[in-house]
Protein backbone atom coordinates (compact mmCIF):
# COMPACT_ATOMS: atom_id res chain seq x y z
CA UNK A 1 0.00 0.00 0.00
CA UNK A 2 1.23 3.49 -0.83
CA UNK A 3 2.87 5.12 2.21
CA UNK A 4 1.20 8.50 1.62
CA UNK A 5 -2.21 6.84 1.49
CA UNK A 6 -1.53 5.04 4.77
CA UNK A 7 -0.54 8.30 6.47
CA UNK A 8 -3.51 10.21 5.06
CA UNK A 9 -6.00 7.58 6.12
CA UNK A 10 -4.35 7.29 9.51
CA UNK A 11 -4.84 11.01 10.10
CA UNK A 12 -8.45 10.73 8.99
CA UNK A 13 -9.14 8.28 11.82
CA UNK A 14 -8.78 8.90 15.53
CA UNK A 15 -5.98 6.96 17.19
CA UNK A 16 -8.24 4.40 18.88
CA UNK A 17 -9.97 3.57 15.62
CA UNK A 18 -6.66 3.25 13.79
CA UNK A 19 -5.33 0.88 16.46
CA UNK A 20 -8.42 -1.29 16.02
CA UNK A 21 -7.85 -1.35 12.28
CA UNK A 22 -4.30 -2.63 12.68
CA UNK A 23 -5.32 -5.65 14.78
CA UNK A 24 -5.43 -8.99 12.98
CA UNK A 25 -8.72 -10.00 14.65
CA UNK A 26 -11.81 -8.07 13.50
CA UNK A 27 -15.46 -8.17 14.46
CA UNK A 28 -18.59 -6.20 13.67
CA UNK A 29 -21.35 -6.10 11.09
CA UNK A 30 -20.51 -6.76 7.45
CA UNK A 31 -21.24 -3.19 6.35
CA UNK A 32 -18.92 -1.84 9.07
CA UNK A 33 -16.13 -4.23 8.12
CA UNK A 34 -16.42 -3.20 4.48
CA UNK A 35 -16.41 0.50 5.37
CA UNK A 36 -13.31 0.00 7.46
CA UNK A 37 -11.50 -1.69 4.58
CA UNK A 38 -12.51 1.00 2.10
CA UNK A 39 -11.41 3.75 4.51
CA UNK A 40 -7.99 2.15 4.93
CA UNK A 41 -7.17 1.43 1.31
CA UNK A 42 -8.79 4.27 -0.65
CA UNK A 43 -9.37 8.01 -0.68
CA UNK A 44 -12.52 9.94 -1.66
CA UNK A 45 -13.53 9.84 -5.34
CA UNK A 46 -11.55 6.68 -6.02
CA UNK A 47 -13.15 3.63 -7.65
CA UNK A 48 -14.14 0.50 -5.72
CA UNK A 49 -15.06 -2.73 -7.54
CA UNK A 50 -17.09 -5.68 -6.23
CA UNK A 51 -17.20 -8.54 -8.76
CA UNK A 52 -19.68 -10.55 -6.64
CA UNK A 53 -21.95 -7.68 -5.66
CA UNK A 54 -24.97 -9.50 -4.22
CA UNK A 55 -27.38 -6.96 -2.76
CA UNK A 56 -24.89 -4.11 -2.87
CA UNK A 57 -23.32 -3.78 0.59
CA UNK A 58 -19.92 -2.87 -0.86
CA UNK A 59 -21.39 -0.30 -3.23
CA UNK A 60 -23.38 1.26 -0.40
CA UNK A 61 -20.35 1.45 1.89
CA UNK A 62 -18.27 3.01 -0.89
CA UNK A 63 -20.86 5.67 -1.65
CA UNK A 64 -21.37 6.55 2.01
CA UNK A 65 -17.62 7.20 2.12
CA UNK A 66 -17.70 9.34 -1.06
CA UNK A 67 -16.11 6.74 -3.32
CA UNK A 68 -17.36 5.62 -6.71
CA UNK A 69 -18.43 2.00 -7.00
CA UNK A 70 -18.89 -0.67 -9.65
CA UNK A 71 -20.61 -4.02 -9.11
CA UNK A 72 -21.18 -7.17 -11.14
CA UNK A 73 -24.23 -9.32 -10.44
CA UNK A 74 -26.16 -11.93 -12.45
CA UNK A 75 -29.26 -12.02 -10.24
CA UNK A 76 -31.70 -9.30 -11.27
CA UNK A 77 -33.56 -9.57 -7.96
CA UNK A 78 -30.37 -8.72 -6.09
CA UNK A 79 -29.75 -5.82 -8.46
CA UNK A 80 -33.21 -4.43 -7.68
CA UNK A 81 -32.45 -4.59 -3.95
CA UNK A 82 -29.12 -2.85 -4.50
CA UNK A 83 -30.70 -0.12 -6.62
CA UNK A 84 -33.19 0.57 -3.84
CA UNK A 85 -30.38 0.86 -1.28
CA UNK A 86 -28.40 3.16 -3.54
CA UNK A 87 -31.11 5.39 -5.02
CA UNK A 88 -29.76 8.50 -3.31
CA UNK A 89 -26.33 7.87 -4.88
CA UNK A 90 -27.51 7.34 -8.46
CA UNK A 91 -24.58 9.19 -10.04
CA UNK A 92 -21.85 7.43 -8.05
CA UNK A 93 -22.34 3.75 -8.80
CA UNK A 94 -22.70 1.45 -11.78
CA UNK A 95 -24.09 -2.10 -11.78
CA UNK A 96 -23.39 -4.54 -14.61
CA UNK A 97 -25.76 -7.48 -15.01
CA UNK A 98 -23.31 -10.06 -16.29
CA UNK A 99 -20.87 -12.68 -15.06
CA UNK A 100 -17.80 -11.15 -13.46
CA UNK A 101 -15.71 -13.48 -15.61
CA UNK A 102 -16.32 -10.82 -18.27
CA UNK A 103 -14.95 -7.89 -16.25
CA UNK A 104 -12.35 -6.93 -18.84
CA UNK A 105 -15.09 -6.50 -21.47
CA UNK A 106 -16.59 -3.62 -19.50
CA UNK A 107 -13.76 -1.86 -17.66
CA UNK A 108 -10.55 -0.24 -18.84
CA UNK A 109 -7.20 -1.64 -17.80
CA UNK A 110 -5.82 -0.14 -14.59
CA UNK A 111 -8.96 1.88 -13.89
CA UNK A 112 -9.88 0.54 -10.42
CA UNK A 113 -8.38 1.64 -7.09
CA UNK A 114 -9.66 -1.19 -4.88
CA UNK A 115 -11.40 -4.52 -5.33
CA UNK A 116 -13.28 -5.90 -2.35
CA UNK A 117 -15.61 -8.88 -2.45
CA UNK A 118 -16.93 -11.93 -0.64
CA UNK A 119 -16.54 -15.18 -2.52
CA UNK A 120 -19.70 -16.97 -3.63
CA UNK A 121 -20.22 -20.15 -1.67
CA UNK A 122 -19.15 -23.33 -3.38
CA UNK A 123 -22.30 -25.40 -3.41
CA UNK A 124 -23.05 -28.60 -5.26
CA UNK A 125 -26.14 -27.88 -7.39
CA UNK A 126 -29.30 -29.88 -6.96
CA UNK A 127 -30.23 -32.05 -9.90
CA UNK A 128 -33.42 -30.92 -11.56
CA UNK A 129 -35.07 -30.88 -14.94
CA UNK A 130 -35.01 -27.40 -16.41
CA UNK A 131 -38.49 -27.95 -17.85
CA UNK A 132 -39.83 -28.09 -14.30
CA UNK A 133 -38.33 -24.74 -13.39
CA UNK A 134 -38.46 -21.30 -14.87
CA UNK A 135 -35.91 -20.93 -17.64
CA UNK A 136 -34.44 -17.87 -15.90
CA UNK A 137 -33.83 -19.87 -12.71
CA UNK A 138 -31.99 -22.58 -14.63
CA UNK A 139 -29.88 -20.06 -16.55
CA UNK A 140 -29.00 -18.23 -13.34
CA UNK A 141 -27.96 -21.48 -11.69
CA UNK A 142 -25.63 -22.31 -14.56
CA UNK A 143 -24.05 -18.83 -14.52
CA UNK A 144 -23.26 -18.92 -10.80
CA UNK A 145 -19.62 -19.99 -10.61
CA UNK A 146 -20.19 -21.44 -7.16
CA UNK A 147 -22.59 -24.04 -8.54
CA UNK A 148 -20.38 -26.92 -9.57
CA UNK A 149 -19.83 -30.50 -8.46
CA UNK A 150 -16.08 -30.04 -8.79
CA UNK A 151 -14.03 -28.07 -6.29
CA UNK A 152 -11.30 -27.85 -8.90
CA UNK A 153 -13.75 -26.23 -11.34
CA UNK A 154 -14.76 -23.77 -8.64
CA UNK A 155 -11.14 -22.70 -8.18
CA UNK A 156 -10.60 -22.46 -11.94
CA UNK A 157 -13.63 -20.19 -12.23
CA UNK A 158 -12.25 -17.97 -9.47
CA UNK A 159 -8.96 -17.81 -11.33
CA UNK A 160 -10.75 -16.48 -14.42
CA UNK A 161 -12.50 -13.82 -12.36
CA UNK A 162 -9.40 -12.56 -10.59
CA UNK A 163 -7.38 -12.55 -13.78
CA UNK A 164 -9.86 -9.95 -15.00
CA UNK A 165 -9.65 -8.10 -11.70
CA UNK A 166 -5.87 -8.03 -12.01
CA UNK A 167 -6.13 -6.41 -15.45
CA UNK A 168 -8.46 -3.60 -14.35
CA UNK A 169 -6.78 -2.90 -11.00
CA UNK A 170 -4.19 -0.14 -10.88
CA UNK A 171 -0.58 -1.13 -10.09
CA UNK A 172 0.27 -1.53 -6.41
CA UNK A 173 -3.43 -1.46 -5.44
CA UNK A 174 -5.25 -4.01 -3.30
CA UNK A 175 -7.72 -6.80 -3.88
CA UNK A 176 -9.49 -7.77 -0.65
CA UNK A 177 -11.27 -11.14 -0.61
CA UNK A 178 -13.48 -12.24 2.27
CA UNK A 179 -13.75 -16.02 2.39
CA UNK A 180 -14.81 -18.81 4.71
CA UNK A 181 -13.59 -22.39 4.64
CA UNK A 182 -16.15 -25.14 4.14
CA UNK A 183 -16.82 -28.66 5.29
CA UNK A 184 -18.74 -30.89 2.88
CA UNK A 185 -19.58 -34.55 3.37
CA UNK A 186 -17.04 -34.95 6.15
CA UNK A 187 -14.26 -33.36 4.10
CA UNK A 188 -12.71 -30.03 5.04
CA UNK A 189 -11.84 -27.53 2.31
CA UNK A 190 -9.33 -24.79 3.30
CA UNK A 191 -10.62 -22.38 0.68
CA UNK A 192 -8.61 -19.42 1.94
CA UNK A 193 -5.39 -21.38 1.42
CA UNK A 194 -6.35 -22.56 -2.05
CA UNK A 195 -7.46 -19.04 -2.96
CA UNK A 196 -4.00 -17.77 -2.03
CA UNK A 197 -2.48 -20.18 -4.56
CA UNK A 198 -5.00 -19.12 -7.21
CA UNK A 199 -4.20 -15.46 -6.64
CA UNK A 200 -0.45 -16.08 -6.76
CA UNK A 201 -0.82 -17.79 -10.13
CA UNK A 202 -2.75 -14.74 -11.34
CA UNK A 203 0.03 -12.39 -10.25
CA UNK A 204 -1.21 -11.13 -6.88
CA UNK A 205 0.96 -11.07 -3.77
CA UNK A 206 -0.51 -11.98 -0.38
CA UNK A 207 0.01 -8.83 1.67
CA UNK A 208 -1.91 -9.57 4.86
CA UNK A 209 -4.48 -11.85 6.47
CA UNK A 210 -7.06 -10.91 9.10
CA UNK A 211 -9.67 -13.02 10.86
CA UNK A 212 -13.24 -11.75 11.05
CA UNK A 213 -14.89 -13.12 14.18
CA UNK A 214 -18.60 -13.70 13.49
CA UNK A 215 -19.34 -15.82 16.55
CA UNK A 216 -21.93 -13.32 17.80
CA UNK A 217 -24.00 -14.17 14.73
CA UNK A 218 -23.88 -17.87 15.57
CA UNK A 219 -25.30 -17.90 19.09
CA UNK A 220 -27.52 -20.89 18.29
CA UNK A 221 -25.35 -23.81 17.22
CA UNK A 222 -26.53 -27.12 15.84
CA UNK A 223 -26.00 -30.19 17.98
CA UNK A 224 -23.58 -32.55 16.29
CA UNK A 225 -25.15 -35.98 15.81
CA UNK A 226 -22.00 -37.91 16.57
CA UNK A 227 -20.59 -36.22 19.64
CA UNK A 228 -17.64 -38.64 19.72
CA UNK A 229 -16.15 -37.04 16.60
CA UNK A 230 -14.84 -33.53 17.16
CA UNK A 231 -15.55 -31.00 14.44
CA UNK A 232 -15.24 -27.29 14.99
CA UNK A 233 -18.12 -25.00 14.09
CA UNK A 234 -16.82 -22.39 11.63
CA UNK A 235 -17.77 -18.98 13.02
CA UNK A 236 -15.08 -16.87 11.38
CA UNK A 237 -14.06 -15.67 7.94
CA UNK A 238 -10.72 -14.65 6.51
CA UNK A 239 -10.02 -11.20 5.12
CA UNK A 240 -7.29 -11.85 2.56
CA UNK A 241 -5.36 -8.80 1.39
CA UNK A 242 -3.66 -9.17 -1.99
CA UNK A 243 -1.53 -6.58 -3.76
CA UNK A 244 -1.16 -6.21 -7.51
Q: The pTM is what?
A: 0.82
pLDDT recorded at residue 152? 92
CB burial of 17-35 (b: ≥16 within 10 Å; e: otherwise) equals eeeebeeeebbeebeebbb
Among residues 45, 46, 41, 33, the alpha carbon closest in space to that of 9 is found at 41
> Is residue 206 a contact partner of residue 241, using CB atoms and an 8 Å limit?
yes
Question: 3-243 falls under which CATH superfamily?
Answer: Vaccinia Virus protein VP39 (3.40.50.150)
> What does the pLDDT look like over 217-237, one tens digit per residue?
765 555 555 555 667 777 789
Strands 236-243, 205-213: parallel, antiparallel or unpaired by DSSP? antiparallel
Name residues of the chain where pLDDT drops below 50.
1-8, 10-11, 127-136, 138-139, 141-142
Percent of the chain with pLDDT over 70: 75
Cα–Cα distance for residue pair 233/218, rounded to 1 Å: 9
Amino acid sequence: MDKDMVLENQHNNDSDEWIQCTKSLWDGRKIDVIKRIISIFTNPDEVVLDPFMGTGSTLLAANVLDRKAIGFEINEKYISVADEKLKRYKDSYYIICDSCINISKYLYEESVDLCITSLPYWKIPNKFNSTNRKHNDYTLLMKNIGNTNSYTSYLKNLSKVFLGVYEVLKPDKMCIVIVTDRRKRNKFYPIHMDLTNVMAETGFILEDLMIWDRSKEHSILKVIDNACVYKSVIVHEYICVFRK
